[in-house]
Structure 1
């Protein structure tokens, strides 16, 4: 069984449920070490005192917050834990909201929220079922690793999922970050074709059909270099010009519809031919049997 990374109590109203937090995801990543170019010498990082040049042990390092130019307030780890001793074990539900109301941009990382003991299975299942029935999500706050998180707790099958979330002031304003953005597309043939293309490419969501192709290419690159083989790179696509946009949309819709129709045709003939094979064999068998009988009659005569 996986090891929990946080444990505490999920509380709403007068109800308190012991829970444990587990990682729900793991990222694909190819491990690389750093070397000095042209050598086999590893590059390693050390915690160095910039004044003395001496290496400092991890346990001897404390945190400092700059208040004015060059002046810092030093804060110990114990002091951070002392300012919220109770909240470090509490997952307090502030309110319930419609799950669809939460913009996915707020979601940060997913965790599984499991029962904290055998004696609270009923209350855990009760909350999970109630969230499923109402299509609601719980908005809560909790402290983990000296940081307060905003969280969304939702039901997913048999488990509660906790999504850590960004606070509103942590999300950047796209207008300030990107400047003037394109206005809404006017009604016209281009918009109609864009909608047709989206409809033609719409399919059922099947997450297992997607995989990390970049990591696979990195692994292939490493293997090719190990064998001394030539590495082939892909060229980046060119942007579609405004004058070519309608033509590109029309060709894309036609290709999408053709691909979907082709897939349907591939399946249909297979079923029909399978049904026709058996009668064909039977008729062939009857003909050969008839030939043998007539041949016997002729020889007897």
Structure 2
């Protein structure tokens, strides 16, 4: 079993619910080391003084931030620790908000919350059910590893799920970041209608298992092929951007292709087996057949 990365109490009003926090996700990327080409020798990095070229011990390193004009303010670890939030055992809920109001851009990482003891399961479940009925998320703050986090807690089936979130000043404004912003669409009604048909023909239930990290799969196969001394084949080139001189025709062909794909998927889908008769039903059927013969 996994160990909680944080334990404490979820507090709202005068109620405190002990909880443990577990990571809900993990990365599956292939881990690489660096080597010198042609030698197989590992690459190592050293902390070196830029001016003298000498290696510096880790304990002799302080942090600094650029304050403009080529000047830096230097801070050692003790100074940083003096203003860092202390280790907190409280996950404090400040308000409840409509879950649909939270823009997904604010979400960082996801965690599972587990009741801290058998005695507090009822209180945990009460909060979960009340939030589910109200379609609300609990907005709170948490101190972990010397850092303060903004969090959103929501019900997910039988458990509560916690998302760490970015603070407002950490989320960029698209209007300031993007040079090209289309504004109101200038598409023709026929093009919009065809685009709607394409969306409809490509729509379906969300099934996470239908999607895989194909790049990581290809990297794994590449490593396996090189390990076995096999010839390496190049991946297909990425598709070229769509020429918008006749957008309607491109959309029409896309709709046809999507509909064909959908029909092919339905044909290849395994058919559901007819429900098997239970022993009781088989016996009843035999008796009915016997009565018909007797009559």
TM superposition score normalised by structure 1:
0.81
Aligned to 2:91: 91
Measure the CA separation in 2 of the matches of 1:61 and 1:97. Answer: 44
Give 1:256's match in structure 2, choosing from 252, 255, 258. Answer: 258
Q: Alpha carbons of 1:32 and 1:256: their partners in 2 closer, same or farther (altered >3 Å)?
A: same
Aligned to 1:195: 196
Measure the CA separation in 1 of the matches of 2:106 and 2:90. Answer: 21
The superposition leaves residues 83-125 of structure 1 with CA deviations (integer Å, 9 ceiling, x where unpaired) of 5336x22211111111111111111111111122232111111
Q: Alpha carbons of 1:249 and 1:80: their partners in 2 closer, same or farther (altered >3 Å)?
A: same
CA contact (8 A) 2:84 2:146 kept: no
Higher helix fraction: Structure 1 or Structure 2?
1
The offset of 1:262, in angstroms, is: 3.9
Aligned to 2:249: 247
The offset of 1:49, in angstroms, is: 4.8
Aligned length: 270
Aligned to 2:103: 103
CA contact (8 A) 1:8 1:89 kept: yes
Q: Alpha carbons of 1:118 and 1:265: their partners in 2 closer, same or farther (altered >3 Å)?
A: closer
The offset of 1:79, in angstroms, is: 5.6
User: Which runs of 5 or more structure 2 residues have no equivalent in the other structure?
Assistant: 274-295
User: Which runs of 5 or more structure 1 residues have no equivalent in the other structure?
Assistant: 272-301
State which drifts further: 148-157 or 243-252: 243-252
* CA RMSD in angstroms, aligned pairs only: 2.6
Q: Alpha carbons of 1:47 and 1:121: their partners in 2 closer, same or farther (altered >3 Å)?
A: farther
Aligned to 1:233: 235
The superposition leaves residues 205-235 of structure 1 with CA deviations (integer Å, 9 ceiling, x where unpaired) of 1111111111011111222223141322210
The offset of 1:40, in angstroms, is: 1.1
Runs of 4+ in structure 1 deviating by more than 6 angstroms, as ranges, are 267-271
